[in-house]
Amino acid sequence: MSPDTPRSDGKMIGMPASPGIVIGPVHLLLWEVPDVPQRIIADEKIESEIARFHDALTTAKGRLAQVKARAERHAGPEEAAIFDVQVQILSDGELISSVEKFIRRNIGAEKAFDLVLIESRQNFARHAQPMIRERVGDLTDIHIRVLSILLGLPDHDPVDLPKGSNAILVTHDLTPSLTVQLDRDAIAAIATDEGTRTSHVAILARSLGLPAVVGLRDATRRVSGGDEIILDGSSGALIPRPTAVQIASYTLRAAREEADTAELQQLVGAEPVTLDGVRITLRANVDLPEEAEAAAHSGAEGVGLMRTEFLVVGRASMPDEEEQYRAYKRVVEAFEGKPVVIRTFDVGGDKLPVGGFPHEANPFLGWRAIRMCLDEPEIFKTQLRALLRAAMHGDVRIMLPLVVSVEEVRQARHLLEEAAAELDERGVDYRHGLPLGVMIETPAAVIVADTLVKDVAFFSIGTNDLVQYTLAVDRGNANLASRFTPLHPAVLRLIRRTVEVGNDNGLEVSVCGEMASQPLMAFALIGLGVRQLSVAGRAVPLVKRIVRGVSAEVAMDAANAALGAQTAREAEDELRRRLFSAFGDAQFLRDGLPEYVDGNTFEGFGGP
């Protein structure tokens, strides 16, 4: 049976993106431009039709004001500022005049508005200025919002839900403007047609602790708003209109998982040492500053990856040095002197920054991450100055993404020195000599790792992109999810090679990708010689349990067998057999794994 084949009981299987079970009502969010029928109006109706159009604009502005206010409470004023641009567009005189002209030609207001917005979106998308191109997303939001009002369609904004709704948000995908509206007191889980375990929505869900299933392909067409539904973020299952037996079964299972979670919390203060005495350093991944306090109490020994894209994605303006400094400082202070590895902007690909990027046929191979930073030195140096200042409050380490040559490291270091000199000129205190490391996330970086060792302080393996670039599989493409296999022997060999180069040259080698958060994967990484793992904060106790329950020798034996396997499926079998011999067929080992039916494996579902 194909993974996305509907079950006879309506059960859908997608990709498990964030663990947890929720039983609740569907909140269906169909944020798409609706079909607009052609409607001709009589001459005597023209003025009233124009008035109806203006009423719709007024209603839309009022709605945006509500949306912005809620976004400020949930995500902060900077993130909520993206709605100011939409209000400005609604007041644009040229746009309003163009719509009125169509109405005066006896075209109904909804079709008139539709025609103008289609043309505007096309013109903006082709514009030479990145800032103009970035507005296409805002135009699309406005297109949907005003048409919904004119056509009398339901308002699907997620902001209307009362607190305590325990709703499961089912949508095609989450855009930045929708993401900042999420009310965690009303939305209990997320299900999307699009996405993979490594896509933006999946990472966000794990950060927020919201159970999630992604890559369901057509869930929005198979459920209705208000339907009762079961979402199982551990197995990737979505069960519409469950039976009483299913509800009882999943309620019991949810209680058991809750008990397991409580048990894992007892390990927060335990030492992450294997049965044969090998110590593993466990750190946390942090996506948003507000997660820092919780992550600091998870038992993590610092931050192995602080993503900084939240500062630029979906924003109307670039954050200044002071705003960035405050965000980094908050995380650094939460960890009270423990290492905090902060990755410089990794924008591009599926993460569009302020101002947007030129349209690229292959964005993951295009102008992104360190390439963009080096080509935009003023943006980069602003971030570097903020990092240097934040380091006054703790142990900050800077990490560069998507490096493929030592030349990029040297250019970045030069800009770091310039940033320091600029702080000197202003008389601002900062910390000198910050460690500068790189992410290893391409085959090229692995192959030339030995050429980097004299210029960097540490390696951190980013498994999401390493898998993507090694296997030439788009990590965000649900259609390719079955081919996104982190246990492919080629990936395992590249990780082993990186560890060997690091060890030979006395460099710390960590893994900060999603791979480290899943028990079987963590077991493989320990066997490959990785001694520092950075995982989602909520996964720290779970991974600690794995570390304390195995010996490094057994893990190494399993990893060697996996390295000798011919396929990812065979590698998984080698690892699974040895790990299960240590723990038995325990449920917690399956966190992040698809449901074990019809022989499915990572090879069949993609995995982390």
Alpha helices in 307-376 (DSSP H): 321-334, 370-375
Task: Give residue 349's identity as a one-letter amino acid code.
Answer: G
- Asked if 373 is an active-site residue, the reply is no
Between CA 343 and CA 307 the distance in angstroms is 6
Q: For residue 481, give the DSSP letter.
A: G
Task: Tell me which long-range contacts 271-276 makes (C-beta under 8 A, separation of at least 24).
Answer: 271/548, 272/543, 272/544, 272/547, 272/548, 273/547, 273/548, 274/526, 274/547, 274/548, 274/550, 274/551, 274/552, 274/555, 275/548, 275/549, 275/550, 275/551, 276/551, 276/552, 276/553
Q: Which residues pair with 534 in a beta bridge?
A: 283
Q: Which of 27, 200, 393, 488 is catalytic?
A: 200
- Asked if 200 is an active-site residue, the reply is yes
* The dihedral formed by the CA atoms of 72, 75, 78 and 81, expressed in degrees to the nearest 10: -60
Q: Hey, is 561 helix, strand or coil?
A: helix
Backbone angles phi, psi at 440, to 5 degrees: -105, 105
**Cα atoms in the Cβ-side hemisphere of radius 13 Å centred on 487:** 36
Between CA 94 and CA 68 the distance in angstroms is 25
Between CA 538 and CA 147 the distance in angstroms is 41
Task: Give residue 88's identity as a one-letter amino acid code.
Answer: Q
**Residues 605 and 518 sit within 8 Å (Cβ to Cβ):** no
Q: How far apart are the first and last CA of the chain?
A: 21
Q: Which residues pair with 26 in a beta bridge?
A: 168
**Residues 580 and 546 sit within 8 Å (Cβ to Cβ):** no
Which strands make up the sheet holding 15-18, listed edge to edge? 12-13, 237-240, 228-232, 21-29, 167-171, 187-192, 212-214, 15-18
**Residues 181 and 67 sit within 8 Å (Cβ to Cβ):** yes
Alpha helices in 448-518 (DSSP H): 449-452, 463-471, 489-504
Between CA 535 and CA 304 the distance in angstroms is 8
Q: Two tokens at 407?
A: 């030349």
Closest CA to 440 of 407, 414, 470, 480: 470
Give me the active site residues, please.
Answer: 200, 512
